[in-house]
Amino acid sequence: MDPAERRYLEDEDSPVVKTMKGATTGFVTGTIFGTIVATWYDVPRVERSVALPGLIRTLKMMGNYGATFAAIGGVYIGVEQLMQNYRKKRDFVNGAVGGFVAGSTILGYRGRSISTAISAGAALAVTSAAIDAGGQTTRIDNGKEYYPYTTKKRSAVDS
């Protein structure tokens, strides 16, 4: 699909719907990531006052990562949409500003320092600008269609 056609299809959603989709995607991704981190790093401890300590710690970690990723996704897409509507342009600058604001506010708040906020914002801005400037996709469309089955007819000899 041509990038111009893809942009046309993306315009069907309103900025609020895109922001909600970004936050939801971030929440799901963060929850999965939190599950992996909890499974990988959480050392089981026995506690008397808590019935299921491992499960409760895992759920807390999933929730923390999910909320953080949801906030980053929502702020990123929201600021990107605001910049796009304000500037009346669709280019890498919108994503870079969205990445910087999302990284500096959300991750800077969690890190509780100005240097963390600036470095996190810069990292997300550079990543977003690099992806957007490189064709606004992380996947290259080579025009081939892949089916889970073969589309060639078998001859009578093959049977």
Cα dihedral sign, 18-4-93-83: negative
pLDDT attached to residue 147: 66
Chain centroid to Cα 11, Å, comes to 19
Q: Which pTM value belongs to this model?
A: 0.68
Cα–Cα distance for residue pair 31/50, rounded to 1 Å: 23
Annotated domain spans of the chain: 3-134
Q: Does the structure show a pLDDT above 60 at 143? A: yes
What pLDDT, in 10s, does the model give residues 41-97?
765 565 566 667 777 788 888 999 999 999 999 999 998 888 888 888 877 888 889
Spell out a b/e string for 21-43, using b for 16 or more CB atoms within 10 Å of the CB, else e.
Answer: ebbeebbebbbebbbebbeeeee
Per-residue CA distances from 33 to 61, 65, 81, 110 (Å): 9, 7, 26, 17
Q: Is 58 exposed, middle or buried (0-12, 13-18, 19+ CB in 10 A)?
A: middle
pLDDT attached to residue 66: 92
Cα–Cα distance for residue pair 119/127, rounded to 1 Å: 12
Task: Report the candidate in 72, 78, 76, 75 with the shortest Cα–Cα distance to residue 107.
Answer: 72
- The one-letter amino acid code at 29 reads T
Secondary structure (3-state) at 5: helix
Are 127 and 99 spatial neighbours (Cβ–Cβ below 8 Å)?
Answer: yes
What pLDDT, in 10s, does the model give residues 18-41?
888 888 999 999 999 988 888 787
Cα–Cα distance for residue pair 84/76, rounded to 1 Å: 12
Cα–Cα distance for residue pair 62/125, rounded to 1 Å: 26
pLDDT > 90 fraction of the chain, expressed in percent and rounded: 12
